[in-house]
């Protein structure tokens, strides 16, 4: 995929994210993500924030991790996972500040984030990526392993640990406070 004026300028990054990686990422960078990422949608966010507020042990350590706002569909026979495209990120905004305070460093979804979340991304030196909507089946091809690690009762909104290779995303909000949508509003 080529979004930077037709030139292939891809960065390969691995999870968990390091501060060097985060500082190197700039708005508009196209990346391929390798490593583990965790799915979380609305219901899982609510449960995780409740656990944090009660000082309970979380199903995975948020520090330096990447959350993908996604609820995968069931896998067809012979597949690792079903379609798993991004969901609208702004629905998670009310939970995001607390997760960033806990050390979360990356989020993948679609759409803009609130002013408060963008300020928190800068404050806590994190990054927000966009995955492309409508490409859930293609994203499934980037997933090499998948397992439910928490809240199986939530079905597709359970927390999945995904091992990914060549998972395509674009940096929308970087750790310096830049916003892809604002910078490209009039282009």
Q: Which residues are catalytic?
A: 45
- State residue 168 phi and psi, 5-degree precision: -80, 135
- Beta strand spans in the chain (E): 10-14, 30-39, 66-68, 106-109, 127-130, 143-150, 159-173
Note whether 10 and 1 are within 8 A (CB).
no
Cα dihedral 115, 124, 185, 69 in deg (nearest 10): -80
Structure tokens at 65: 């991790």
């Amino acid at each position: 995929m080529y979004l930077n004026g037709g030139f292939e300028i891809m960065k390969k990054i691995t999870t968990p994210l390091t501060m060097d990686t985060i500082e190197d990422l700039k708005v508009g960078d196209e990346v391929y993500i390798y490593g583990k990422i965790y799915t979380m949608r609305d219901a899982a966010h609510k449960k995780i924030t409740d656990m944090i507020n009660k000082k309970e042990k979380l199903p995975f350590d948020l520090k330096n991790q990447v959350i993908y706002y996604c609820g995968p569909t069931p896998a067809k026979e012979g597949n690792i996972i079903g379609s798993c495209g991004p969901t609208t990120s702004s629905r998670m905004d009310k939970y995001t500040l607390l997760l960033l305070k806990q050390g979360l460093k990356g989020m993948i979804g679609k759409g803009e984030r609130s002013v408060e979340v963008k300020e928190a991304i800068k404050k806590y030196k994190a990054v927000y990526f966009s995955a492309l909507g409508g490409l859930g089946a293609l994203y499934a091809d980037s997933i090499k392993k998948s397992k439910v690690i928490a809240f199986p009762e939530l079905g597709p909104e359970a927390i999945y640990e995904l091992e990914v290779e060549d998972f395509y995303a674009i940096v929308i909000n970087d750790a310096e406070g830049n916003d892809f949508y604002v910078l490209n509003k009039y282009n």
